[in-house]
Chain A
Amino acid sequence: MKKNRPIPWLRVAVHIIGWLPLALLIVYFFTNTLTVNPIQDIEQRLGRIALYFLVATLAVTPIYTVSGWGAVLPRRRALGLYTFFYAGLHILVFLGLDYAFNFPQIIPLLFGKIHLLAGVLAFSLLLPLAVTSFDYFIRRMGRNWKRLHWLIYPSGLVVILHYAWSLKGNLFTLQGNIIQPLIWGLVILVLLILRLSPLRRWISSARRKVCGLH
């Protein structure tokens, strides 16, 4: 008789969360709840969803550092790939639905408009991470894999600029529509600070003391 494997709840949860936004988007589309300008709404929703997954990906290690919950660590890869998936859909909607793959029109936009340039840059930084996310590369690349995947931080910060610059606000004078990008930018900064080695070691040892381990 086969031994019953425990259901990997966390893993299942991550995949449900991963597909839920797309499922909702499809439901919204067919129930006409995507405003009267659905292309723009889909485009912007996909961008925000990608950002949320990016933040979730960045949160995995700090969550482990603070809580010592080791089960979250293997889930980081799936979260990272969902980030890439939604970022890719976001770009595909921009290129295909919004601009009908009209590249003579799109190319000058991509390189002439700073918010689009930031978006292109952020996605280009995510691309090698997605490609090298398989076990094969993790084994092959050794220490370099970690170095390469550090790129998620600059990508996160550039995404915030992309977000802020696409809205009608001024990030530098803090005027206009900037609350959302500002909040998410601060979240990414905090997650980044929590990764700094000295702080991370200090938090880990403090946690061990509090929990009475070691």
Chain B
Amino acid sequence: MERKLRDGAIPTSEITPYSSYLSRRDFLKAAGIVSASAFLAACGMNSSAGPSAGIGGPTSEPIRGSGTPTPSAPVPDNAQGLLTDELGNPLNTLDQITHYNNYYEFSTAKDAVASLSQDLKTSPWSVQVGGLVQNPKTYGIEDLLKFQQIERIYRLRCVEAWSMVIPWTGFELADLLQDVQPMASARYVRFVTLADKSQMPGESDPTYPWPYDEGLRLDEAMHRLTIIATGMYGQSLPNQDGAPLRLVVPWKYGFKSIKAIVKIELTEKQPETFWNNISAREYGFYSNVNPNVDHPRWSQATERRIGELGRRQTLMFNGYYDEVASLYTGLDLRANY
């Protein structure tokens, strides 16, 4: 069953640099060093640096191991770009990731979300998983720990043409979906954010169709790159980044990666989604990162990596082409933006 659901979704190469062999303390320590190198990058001193760290790049280590971190690999010696994604891009700093948030439930000002979200009550929290499944369940946050915990360094590309590199922790969404056993009729997955005006002041703004909801095709949701993040930088997920759990789909524009999820529902019909409801012509259901298909009002050809001065070329599927292109064989990506 598991193999069948995952068929065609398994990338041929290993795209994630596993920092999981680092202990949590080493991970944080390394991350601190990376902050320094990101700062250098911000000063334009590191802009042409290629993959410099030992842990970047494809690795043959299987993604689903025994569950215990393998402690053998030494921490690479060079301080610059110690932790990078598989393309050699250094991580963004914790400060950057936690003070530049598009989270309209709290504020449309990206630098205001951090403080406004501090009082969000993320415990207790439960996620209802239902719809077209054999085994509907409500999970508490602690129940989610039973899924294989992973660390993934992903690029996040916002539809507004800025990007970051973020070290997430969490689990593969496929694990959760297999736990509830999708019915044969299930074709899509719908996600819903918490609706609570008293905690999320932005939800009082009547010009938005609250609550925030998002959707994926089932095969996209089952893809191994699609994860539910419950942590970041080795610590629990900060409120402003979507605590206590959020979706991360690294080859799609950031708004697809819905935050503070309370409901996951398998459906037969393509679910309605928040930004698509606001402006269907601008925010399609797929919203795959694609430098060749512009947003009707602005270009998607380039992006600014937070911390850098210049603009970068945006990569097809945000650089995950080899892993996800097969999901869209025969699909007109211009019509299905």
Contacts and interface: CB of A to CB of B under 8 A. Distances in A.
Contacts of A178: 207
Given A39-B304, A170-B278, A177 B297 contact: no
B279 A170 contact: yes
A15 interface: no
A93 B77 CA distance: 39
Given A37-B100, A37-B162, A175 B299 contact: no
B105 to A, nearest CB: 13
Interface stretch (A50-58, A72-80, A108-116, A188-196): A108-116
B41 to A, nearest CB: 13
A205 interface: no
A115 B298 contact: yes
Contacts of A36: 95-96, 99-100, 306-307
Nearest to B102: A168
A176 B297 contact: no
Contact of B297 (A97, A115, A179): A115
B100 A175 contact: no
Contacts of A165: 297
A21 interface: no
B209 A175 contact: yes
B156 to A, nearest CB: 13
Interface of A is mostly: mixed
B279 A175 contact: yes
Interface of B is mostly: loop
| Range of interface residues on A (Cβ < 8 Å) | 20 to 34
B111 interface: yes
Contact of B162 (A40, A115, A169): A40
Contacts of A173: 278-279
B99 A176 contact: no
A175 B278 contact: yes
B306 A37 contact: yes
A174 interface: yes
B58 interface: no
A165 B108 CA distance: 16
B29 interface: no
Given A113-B297, A115-B298, A175-B278, A39 B99 contact: no
A37 B207 contact: no
Contacts of B21: none
Interface of B: 95-96, 99-100, 104, 108, 110-111, 159-160, 162, 205, 207-209, 275, 277-279, 282, 294, 296-299, 301-302, 304, 306-307, 309-311
Return the 5 tightest CB-CB contacts between A and B, nearest first: A36-B96, A176-B278, A175-B278, A35-B111, A170-B279
21 contacts: A35-B99, A35-B100, A36-B96, A36-B307, A37-B306, A40-B162, A98-B304, A98-B311, A105-B301, A109-B299, A115-B298, A165-B297, A168-B160, A168-B278, A170-B279, A174-B207, A175-B277, A175-B278, A176-B279, A177-B108, A178-B207
